[in-house]
Structure 1
């Protein structure tokens, strides 16, 4: 069986995503997406790439428009008129579409710097002012390909600043997969250190810089595997994927911030096979990777249903 911790840097889940989905038993069937537009996939209009939003029962997201293999869920701009997502791991490519003349444009690959060839797992801050991604390209001052590191850009005019890696105290960890940030730019990401399973870390944004990361306390982190966190803008709750081991089903979980710390995580039972959950800017839906070649989504009514 594939060792998700193999490799010098113990970067987990490089190809393990496929095995997670293939080895777990009987994946649930997602209801096919219903498109508002019946024209060709490149002539869709409306919110969320022209799909009728789901309710509690998960549906497939982006079928036909978002095709191929994927590594992380789509992330929308605060206005909902731009979207980015990661292609399969080996492609090291981020794709992009936006609304032009009322229709979603044909997806294209994007490159933010001539010095960076590797792009994975995009995330945009809730205010749209900062953009993050993971890359294995050489760090500044080096010509040698690197382990995966988190990079950040700032919004400038109609584009983005030159990407810069986050501090070494963050990037020294064997990190991987989707990250997220709150309204205050506090950063949540999953990584592994030493011989333990991957856990969720927090790096606070203070005085314009990121602080040394700390592990989130129990019970968010456990002796199981916690990955791909998605923090609420106000940090009142956190979504993440938890699984027992490589062969287990990855389920969506949620925990809430309280005066005494994080609450015991709740499992969202009808969202198994969930990697990289990302809540939409309007906080109404969660989109996630439901297999290496498909996305699922459902409404976020469970957030209030589980709230203590």
Structure 2
């Protein structure tokens, strides 16, 4: 019996040390003093948000060396993307992102290899037949230099609003689409063939087929998706793809996440943390929160 107790004590101590090291490693990775657990979301760097502004989204570059976030005025008239970089173990002073323009920019996300950046913008497309509204743009990295952003042409959506792109490793782009007045908003997907995106198709998640949806995050392997369902408030929904390509195990995330209305979900490149925007719509005191979601993802993956 004493021998068994000794073994259990050694195992418990080892696990405790491992967890402690993991927490410290994450504190260094994110340059923060506190790491969220699996139950209670906490605010991430609210000091980045001026008192008269609203934060909408936050994402990391795949190497965790940069953090990008969207700020707007409280009337939603001007959306600007900022970034902060790690310099000598500290976050540097925020600056406008390299792809930000004098127009509205939002909904940014990286490919998992860090070589492509997708985002949404109202900058002029200057192509006949393309509506003047939000469209998807792309920049590519070569020899450590980002290219000038280019309009992503999805043929059957040229007269629609398209925003919040998220890309898989196989080249499938997920995003939300609506009319220019934001009506009939839902999630669509389009696959790149020989470098050109094809006509988009609406995402079919059976339980939410008739519900408006927005701000999707698709995993690089396309094995799960997180999106915001549109109702009295925005609720974050997760769904997993089975071996037959069907979306299953669909459910709302926990009440501690879905409590004030939220959107813009994003999972960190290590597949551990969910970032999302949340806050009271009337008071407009929004924040980006994060929570450890690794166990949720692991137990539902097929």
**TM-score, structure 2 normalization:** 0.77
3-state SS of the aligned residue for 2:77? helix
Q: Answer with 79-88 or 154-163: which moved more.
A: 154-163
The structural deviation recorded for 1:67 is 4.4
Distance 2:202 2:56 in 1: 23
After TM superposition, where is structure 1 displaced by more than 4 Å over at least 4 residues in a row?
193-196
Q: Which runs of 5 or more structure 1 residues have no equivalent in the other structure?
A: 1-35, 37-44
Residue 248 of structure 2 aligns with which residue?
263
Q: Answer with 166-175 or 148-157: which moved more.
A: 166-175
Q: Which among 86, 110, 133 is matched to residue 147 of structure 1?
A: 133
Residue 81 of structure 2 aligns with which residue?
94
Q: Answer with 215-224 or 117-126: which moved more.
A: 215-224
Q: How many positions carry a matched residue from both structures?
A: 260
Residue 43 of structure 2 aligns with which residue?
60
Q: Which among 127, 139, 151 is matched to residue 113 of structure 2?
A: 127
Q: Answer with 279-288 or 61-70: which moved more.
A: 61-70
Q: 1:221 to 1:202 in 2, by over 3 A?
A: farther
Greater gyration radius = 2
The structural deviation recorded for 1:62 is 1.4
The structural deviation recorded for 1:159 is 2.6
Residue 227 of structure 2 aligns with which residue?
240
**TM-score, structure 1 normalization:** 0.76
3-state SS of the aligned residue for 1:189? strand
Contact 2:81 2:100 in 1 (8 A): no
Correspondences of 1:99-114 after superposition (within 5 Å): 99-112=86-99
Q: Answer with 162-171 or 77-86: which moved more.
A: 162-171
CA displacement 1:74-109 (0-9 Å, x = unmatched) = 111111011111111422211011111221111111
Please say if 1:83 is aligned against 2:71: no
Distance 2:159 2:55 in 1: 20
Q: Which runs of 5 or more structure 2 residues have no equivalent in the other structure?
A: 1-23
Contact 1:266 1:306 in 2 (8 A): no
CA displacement 1:193-235 (0-9 Å, x = unmatched) = 5997321111112222211111112316422221111001100
Residue 269 of structure 2 aligns with which residue?
281
Correspondences of 1:1-308 after superposition (within 5 Å): 46-56=28-38, 57-68=40-51, 69-70=53-54, 72-88=56-72, 89-112=76-99, 117-140=103-126, 146-169=132-155, 171-172=157-158, 174-192=160-178, 197-219=184-206, 221-244=208-231, 248-258=232-242, 259=244, 261-263=246-248, 265-270=250-255, 271-272=257-258, 273-291=261-279, 292=284, 293-300=286-293, 301-307=295-301
Distance 2:196 2:84 in 1: 30
Distance 2:153 2:100 in 1: 19
